[in-house]
Amino acid sequence: MEENNLHPHPPAIPEPEQTPPTPDIPETPKTSDIPEVPDTPEIPSFSQPSPPPPQQTAPPPVTGYPQNYGYPQQPPPPYYGNQNYPNYHNPNNYNYYYQNTFRPQYQQPMYYQYPAYPQSYPPPPQKAVPPVPAAKPLPMNRKIFVLCGVMAAMIFLLCLYCIISDIMHGALNPEITSNTVVLEMQEKPDLDPEDENVTADKEYTVRGVAELVKPSIVEVYVYDENHNLNGTGSGIIISEDGYIITNAHVVQGNDYSVTLDDETEYSAQLIGSDNKTDLAVLKVNATNLTPAILGNSDETYVGESVVAIGSPAGLANSVTKGIVSCNSRQIRSQSSNFKMECIQTDAAISPGNSGGALVNMYGQVIGITSSKYASQYEATYEGLGFAITTNQALPIVQELIENGYVSGRYRIGIVFMSTESTYAAEDFQEKFGTELPPELEHCLWITEISEDCDISHTELRADDFIISMNGHKVTDYDSVLEVLDGFKGGDTVTARCAKFDKGRISYYDIEFKLEEDKSGNY
């Protein structure tokens, strides 16, 4: 058989030969004393069968944990004996003897195995936890709740106010698309004399003026609350997007419409009105309209030819010719007693012409015709027409477009008559049964006091008299305007007053604040 034949257990190894104990060796005698010893006989050799080696068994596997860190347990390889010493059968071989004497019987090839930790420990037993009741919301502080409610109500009211304000000012009206327009006056143009509508003086003929300006003049229709026609007038287009100038006394109604030169009709909305100057602005929802050319009224001269274009008596785009009789006439409005600078002309201006255009021979609008200023003369005189100058009208129109009213106005809150007038003395005689005293002949006789003004909280009453304001004598409307020139709403005024009672005059002083006026009536 081959020497490296494989066995499940190592072959039996013979036990080493037992060596007898060594006897005590006496002290070595001297050489001379040592007798001769015969040669030691040779020990016969003998061989015995070697006893089988102890059985090598594998240590028991470690229990309680998975082996090899969770990997499957690998069996140890079989033991094939000591293959490094092929001569282990020789009992005299020192290496064999040494290796088999001190080698542990259970030794196998070293396979050190670490205990594997478990992949996961079983969860510890859970204790039953009672359910936690849902947290109740803390009650809101009553003051905080009330404050939040008040703030929400204020925000709601503010939003409601803004919506109503937008509606009142036309912000939500689809007919109103803009509230800004720049009004500019142009210089007189240098016309071409070769044009058939231009004269040798380089001015338009009446025909040329009419053809140029008529597309910018409209007829205004005014309706009452039942949509019944209440009156008509004229207007001047001043912007491509539909702003129209007219007179304030024309738009005394509820609804409005305008008809263009080509008979196109639009509904209109009132942007602003100022009764004090008899000016108003309408707006139509239209584009690409033909605006009129505005001229400088200060460049007019007496005797200059002019043309009035309007719709007198409902006759649309009527044209009348005249001259400038006076280029700067201060005319007082019969309704507000306020003076305006007007151009006097002999061109026919009838009630339907109100709000129309007074045009120079260069096709430029130099005035807004108004029958209101001529009404006090028309019963007695003929050939008297007046037009508000563009230089005085345009600042008013600009503010009406931007604000809807003329800013910087004030009102005192009184209605009065001047005692200098002839009918004042007659009224005083009828009221008090006596003649007007000389002390009251040059003052203001109060006939009415507005309850919404600060002056109503003073001692002043109806049928009393105001002698002076801020230390200056006041006798009529013009003197009041002169004394209060530069004042505005909220300013304080002092006045010296008088009371007539049973033939006696008593004097007293008052102090009051002016009210801001946006109505345009004062």
Which residue numbers are catalytic?
Answer: 249, 278, 354
Question: Whole-angstrom distance between the N-terminal and C-terminal Cα of the chain?
Answer: 146
* DSSP category for residue 109: S
HEC per residue, 172-232:
CCCCCCCCCCCCCEECCCCCCCCCCCECCCCCECHHHHHHHHHHHEEEEEEECCCCCEEEE
Contacts 24+ apart (CB under 8 A), 376-382: 376/334
Give exposure, 263-287, as e/b (b: 16+ Cβ within 10 Å): eeebebbbbbbbbbbbbbbbbbebe
What is the total residue count of the chain?
522
Determine how β-strand 465-469 pairs with β-strand 414-418: unpaired
Give exposure, 28-51, as e/b (b: 16+ Cβ within 10 Å): eeeeeeeeeeeeeeeeeeeeeebe
**Do 292 and 236 contact (CB within 8 A), yes or no?**
yes
**Sole residue written with tokens 């008297």:** 384
**The two three-digit tokens of residue 45, written as one number:** 């050799």
**Sole residue written with tokens 């006045």:** 495
